[in-house]
Amino acid sequence: MKLQHQITIAFTTLLVIIMTITGILIYSQLLQMLIQNEQRQLEDKGGLIVDFILTEGLNDTRSVQRFFQLLEQYNLQVFVYDENDDRIVLSSLSDVDMIDDWTQEYNLNSRIQPVWQGDGDRYVVSIIPIVSPHSTQHLVLLTPLDNLQEVQKNLVNRLFLIFVIGILVTILISHYLTATLVTPLTKLRHQLKKIEKRKFDEMEEVKAAGEIKQVEQSVVEMANELNSYIQSQQQFFQNASHELKTPLMAIQGYAEGIRDGVFEGDDADRGFEVMIAEIKRLKKIINEIILLAKLDSETDIYKVEKVNSKVFMKQVVERAIPIANEKNIEVLEHPVDEIEISFDGEKMLQAVMNIVSNAIRHANTEIEIAAFVKAKQFHIEITDNGSGIDEELMKKLFHRFVKGESGETGLGLAIARAIVERSGGVIKASNTTEGGARFTMIFTEFKKINA
């Protein structure tokens, strides 16, 4: 069943349950409310009748006739009971025996009366005492309960009709709202199908809001990252084959030349040196490829330990200075914020040195090495004063076998990113305002020492 139908059914079922409970509660209280309301009306009308009795009296035929006309006008059934004489003084009801039974069964002195039971009928009753200087009498006013039940039935029918209309309207609104909610999800599913089939160029924006928009943005980011990864993988195989093919061809050429006697004497010795150099280069490329593969797949290769930032950065500087001296590059150190951070010290040292070596190759005169805490994050920054990074190269700088000018294997920055991300950090590259390049490694999990 589609999600839209599930939500509509669930919402409608909940509404029906709520309205049913509400209807039952209203129905159970409705008759009692009508009885109480009817008793209040009887009291109001009874007060007028009592005033008439006290004013006009019921001593002659004319006053009695006017009394019955008043009852007919108000559509009332009454009788007057004299408590002192225990007799019915006057009645608009013909069944005298039933009135006698009532006077014996019910307490006429109570202001609050239950529903009286007659011959097959029930009556709502209101009793008003008639106090005169000569006697104490009670005016009893009655209304058949059937009339109120008919009113109750009409009200219930109307309520039922309102409930039905309300449910239908709610179903339509629910269907519209769920369609508004589910439609973006359906479109999002189609977008995921395109990602599954690697049709990244056919991706379209899904109009949505709230959490669904955030999911859509995450899907787009995932698609872009996946597309970039697939392209980098394709580029990786192309570059890898090229990088491996070049030294192999050099080795093959000199080996065949020496075998066939083309190279002899000094030329043969020079060929052996080239072969050894190419083999070393080939070995380095293969080792770095293996390291990248292990960082992506193996867990045991990464040994997490507690590392002191000052000790770690001292190791970085100590290894950077000899490399920089060979290039006549000055290494500028900044004070290091001392913290304790968890990562594989050996692997992270390799990652940072890859960045440092890259900075030294591209620097004009100097590089800067800094490590500090900023905005509750630990930063390691390597900055050079070279010509900076080309904008096109910046987009794929950390991809495998992507080399800039004077690059070596094109795997150093990819290894650095893999190690930093494996450590729970991020690595970024940017150009400084002075024109050089800056690499920043950022970590959020650390502990200050002596804080």
412-430 per-position pLDDT tens digit: 788 888 888 888 899 999 9
CATH topology of domain 305-448: Heat Shock Protein 90 (3.30.565)
Task: Kindly list the distances between the CA atom of residue 119 and the CA atoms of 101, 104, 206, 448, in Å, as whole numbers in the listed order.
Answer: 11, 16, 74, 93
- pLDDT tens profile 112-149: 788 888 777 888 888 888 776 655 778 888 888 777 77
> Residue 238 has what pLDDT?
66
> Residue 313 has what pLDDT?
92
d(CA 409, CA 411): 5
3-151: which CATH number, 3.40.640.10, 3.40.50.2300, 3.30.450.20, 3.40.50.150?
Answer: 3.30.450.20
Task: Give buried/exposed letters for 272-293 (b at 16+ CB in 10 A, else e).
Answer: eeebeebeebbeebeebbebbe
Q: Which stretch of DSSP H or E encloses residue 299?
A: none
pLDDT of 383 above 90: yes
- pLDDT tens profile 98-121: 888 888 888 877 777 888 887 778
> Residue 369 has what pLDDT?
93
d(CA 351, CA 349): 5
Highest mean pLDDT range out of 47-56, 217-226, 375-384? Answer: 375-384
| Domain coordinates in residue numbering, the chain | 3-151, 210-297, 305-448
* Secondary-structure breakdown of the chain: helix, strand, coil percentages, each rounded to the nearest 5: 60, 15, 25
Identify which has the larger pLDDT, 399 or 324.
324
Identify which has the larger pLDDT, 395 or 373.
373
Write down the architecture of domain 210-297 according to CATH.
Orthogonal Bundle (1.10)
Q: What average pLDDT is seen over the chain?
A: 80
Angle, CA of 115, 36 and 57, to the nearest 5°: 80
Highest mean pLDDT range out of 157-161, 176-180, 335-339? Answer: 335-339
Q: Is 401 left (phi over 0), alpha (psi -120 to 50) or beta?
A: left
pLDDT of 381 above 80: yes
> Residue 239 has what pLDDT?
64
The mean pLDDT of 83-88, rounded to a whole number, is: 78
Q: Is 337 left (phi over 0), alpha (psi -120 to 50) or beta?
A: beta
Give, rounded to a whole angstrom, the gap between the first and last alpha carbons of the chain. 58
> Residue 242 has what pLDDT?
65
pLDDT of 4 above 70: no
- Candidates 206, 424, 220, 411; CA nearest to 228 is 220
> Residue 271 has what pLDDT?
82
> Residue 318 has what pLDDT?
92
> Residue 445 has what pLDDT?
83
- Mean pLDDT is lowest, of 98-107, 339-348, 382-391, 400-409, for 400-409
Furthest C-alpha separation in the chain:
161
Amino acid at the residue 412: G
- pLDDT tens profile 271-311: 888 888 888 878 877 777 777 767 666 666 778 889 899 99
Considering Cα of 240, then 244, then 249, then 250, what sign does the dihedral take? positive
Residue 170 confidence class, pLDDT cut points 50, 70, 90 = confident
Q: What is the number of other CB atoms lying within 10 angstroms of the CB of residue 92?
A: 15
Q: Is 241 left (phi over 0), alpha (psi -120 to 50) or beta?
A: alpha
pLDDT of 34 above 90: no
pTM for the whole structure: 0.48
> Residue 392 has what pLDDT?
78
pLDDT of 407 above 60: no
d(CA 272, CA 268): 6
